Amino acid sequence: MQKHSNLAWLVTNGVTSYGPVRISHGKPGFGTPVGNFPVLRKVKNDWSVPYNGPMPNSVYFTTDGIAFHQGDLNSQSHGCVRLSWNDSEVFYNNLFPGERVQVLP
């Protein structure tokens, strides 16, 4: 995923298998962290308690709640990576615990 371009890809065995797709990410003060992370867990229909909102197709990659999930692409998040509904389903169905996620500036 590249924050500066607002694009993300799925890469399988070194080859792009899906994407690029549009994303939105964390707003100032709630930045999406940059680096390499393991997928920690997945929750099909999660709910953000701190921000009181739905998080469908959540794929968590930090211990403090940052995930890929479906959401509004026209506004920035509190750190999560938002995807369209269809793209969030593809990411959810193709990312598994232990696999690596790379977030670039």
Question: Given pLDDT bands bounded at 50, 70 and 90, which one contains residue 100?
Answer: very high
Rounded distance between C-alpha atoms, residue 34 and residue 85, angstroms: 24
Q: Which amino acid is at 99?
A: E
Closest to 19 (Cα-Cα) out of 81, 77, 85, 91: 91
pTM of the model as a whole: 0.94
What pLDDT does 65 receive? 95
Give tens-digit pLDDT for 31-85.
Answer: 999 999 999 999 999 999 999 999 999 999 999 999 999 999 999 999 999 999 9
